[in-house]
Structure 1
Amino acid sequence: MAIPDENIHPTATGNAAKVVAEHQAKQDLVFYSGWFCPFNQRVWISLEEKGIPYQYKEVNPYKKEKHFLDINPKGLVPAIEYQGKALYESLVLCEFLEEAYPNYEPLLPVDPFERAHVRLWIDHTSKTIIPSWHRILQAQSVEQQDAARQELYEAQRKLAQQVKGPYFTGKEFSLVDVANAPWVAREYILAEHRGYDRAQVGDGWSEYAERLATRESVIKTTNDKDKLQVIYDRYLRDEAQSEVAKALRAGRPLP
């Protein structure tokens, strides 16, 4: 995100800072993180949910170390280094953690059909919910905001209708919940600046969203609101230069 160095906090804050401090020891898995990134938070939530040992390393978006660029030429977080090998892309990483650490708390169902069902709704999240969320965030005219808000309501409503409760697959927290939680935890930004109202979604979205936002792993990996606001002010003015922001302006799928 192209935000001047002096305006962006360099490291995690609040609850997230406490978790960072607990994960500085060397481990087989190194988590390269950007505290402010919701895509990044997906992987962080998965690590905390599964209880996998990991070493946390903050990536400065303006002064990326050569080693980080060597393992991830795209230069984007999240990324991991696992036993000397590197991977990136948030949902790829979440599934990798399932396969590489089978003896830890699972976030995918065992049944093949249920696994496929979960993946379908992760795909729905990626292709409809997240793009609509960001469109309303960046929309400047009232008409654009109204249209994007209705798109977001409809996308969330479709997912809400599939929730078995209390989480997507029922009692167990799954990767569908992980995929949505970072944006649910940031819905207050849309409520304060774009007229978003959870209650307008219907079909139990408000209750589901509240359960996600108050999940321990989500709270533990969430930063102070005032530090996040600095990030999102750029989006609200449609001045952000992140890959997501540029893709939306160009009418391209999100990276």
Structure 2
Amino acid sequence: MSSSDAQFFPHATGEAAKTVEKHQAAQDLIFYSGWFCPYVHRTWIALEERGIPYQYVEVNPYKKEKHFLEINPKGLVPAIEYKGRALYESLILCEFLEDTYPAATPRLLPADTAERAYARIWVDFVTKNVVPNFMRLIQAQTVEKQDAARADLYKGLRTFAAQARGPYFLGDEFSLVDVAIAPWIIRDWVVAENRGYDRAAVSDAWKKYADLVEQRDSIRKTSSEKQHYYEIYGRYLRDEAQGEGARAVREGRVIP
């Protein structure tokens, strides 16, 4: 057992643990998860938001089971097994849920095709302009690099918030755009405590939006106790994390 394995907390806690307990029975859809992962959190929020039946299976990143690697050779979470077929990638999974469970409500993508395309534009914006800058800020080791990453993150968040119709991004209804960014909202305490980030410094509109989103029931029910995230994000803050995303940020590549 490695030192990282020894320190890694192996399962969800708090409200998330209660949710896990409710999803142990066999279902057509098996959700392979890592309680700590923001990408997992996207798909988990979508499952809970829409009330889709699923079986929760925790994947230890240091001890991946043979069957999991067989269905997902990339070895990354989230992944699902649906009636024997394996799929992965968080946003693709969210769209799969939209297509496969059309009767489940609420829907996370609008029925209108132009509005649906507009939502996808802003999901793509989050992927390209928010998540990479958030990760750059966490991993930046010098004041100069932290200042640059924080400025880029603020710019992305400010642009996003300026286009939000309110109270959620597309208006009254919570959507896939909100799901795409929510895991980084509830983890922004990491950069607030360690990298000088402040919601209010982004804009009043961003703070209002972020404060609302983090209170969403589906998000609270899939969030673990804060103290168990410290060891994980400590590795990023020291730029020691060896995951695919961390290495991509370190090497200046697109986050896979």
TM-score by length of 2: 0.98
d(CA) in 2 for partners of 1:102 and 1:119?
Answer: 18
Alignment of 1:103-142 (within 5 A): 103-105=103-105, 106-142=107-143
User: Which amino acid in structure 2 is aligned with residue 101 of structure 1?
Assistant: Y
Name 1:10's counterpart in structure 2: 10
d(CA) in 1 for partners of 2:83 and 2:213?
Answer: 32
Name 2:252's counterpart in structure 1: 251
In the TM superposition, what whole-angstrom CA distance separates every residue of 1:48-92 from its partner, at most 9, and x where no partner exists? 000000000000111111111110000000000001101000000
User: Which amino acid in structure 2 is aligned with residue 4 of structure 1?
Assistant: S
Does the alignment pair 1:217 with 2:211? no
Aligned to 1:102, what secondary structure does the other structure show? Answer: coil
Name 2:183's counterpart in structure 1: 182
Aligned to 1:204, what secondary structure does the other structure show? Answer: helix
Mapped contact 1:72–1:87 kept (Cα < 8 A): yes
How far did residue 200 of structure 1 move? 1.2
Q: 1:207 to 1:3 in 2, by over 3 A?
A: farther
How far did residue 3 of structure 1 move? 6.7
d(CA) in 2 for partners of 1:245 and 1:174?
Answer: 28
Q: 1:162 to 1:203 in 2, by over 3 A?
A: farther
Name 2:91's counterpart in structure 1: 91
Aligned to 1:10, what secondary structure does the other structure show? Answer: coil
Name 1:170's counterpart in structure 2: 171
How far did residue 6 of structure 1 move? 1.1
Tell me whether 40-49 or 203-212 shows the greater mean CA deviation. 203-212
How far did residue 4 of structure 1 move? 1.1
Name 2:156's counterpart in structure 1: 155
Identity %: 61
Name 2:79's counterpart in structure 1: 79
d(CA) in 1 for partners of 2:52 and 2:239?
Answer: 37
d(CA) in 2 for partners of 1:66 and 1:173?
Answer: 37
Aligned to 1:77, what secondary structure does the other structure show? Answer: coil
d(CA) in 1 for partners of 2:138 and 2:115?
Answer: 33
User: Which amino acid in structure 2 is aligned with residue 197 of structure 1?
Assistant: D
d(CA) in 2 for partners of 1:47 and 1:3?
Answer: 33
How far did residue 119 of structure 1 move? 0.2
Aligned to 2:86, what secondary structure does the other structure show? Answer: strand
Aligned to 2:80, what secondary structure does the other structure show? Answer: strand
User: Which amino acid in structure 2 is aligned with residue 113 of structure 1?
Assistant: A
TM-score by length of 1: 0.98
Q: 1:32 to 1:118 in 2, by over 3 A?
A: same
d(CA) in 2 for partners of 1:3 and 1:66?
Answer: 22
Does the alignment pair 1:194 with 2:195? yes
In the TM superposition, what whole-angstrom CA distance separates every residue of 1:112-166 from its partner, at most 9, and x where no partner exists? 1100000000000001100000000000000100010010000011110111111
d(CA) in 2 for partners of 1:237 and 1:13?
Answer: 25
d(CA) in 1 for partners of 2:215 and 2:235?
Answer: 26
Name 1:31's counterpart in structure 2: 31
In the TM superposition, what whole-angstrom CA distance separates every residue of 1:9-32 from its partner, at most 9, and x where no partner exists? 001111100000000000000000
Root-mean-square deviation over aligned CA pairs:
0.9
Alignment of 1:42-53 (within 5 A): 42-53=42-53
Segments of 5+ residues of structure 1 without an aligned counterpart are none
How far did residue 203 of structure 1 move? 5.0
Name 1:55's counterpart in structure 2: 55
d(CA) in 2 for partners of 1:16 and 1:193?
Answer: 25
Mapped contact 1:161–1:203 kept (Cα < 8 A): no
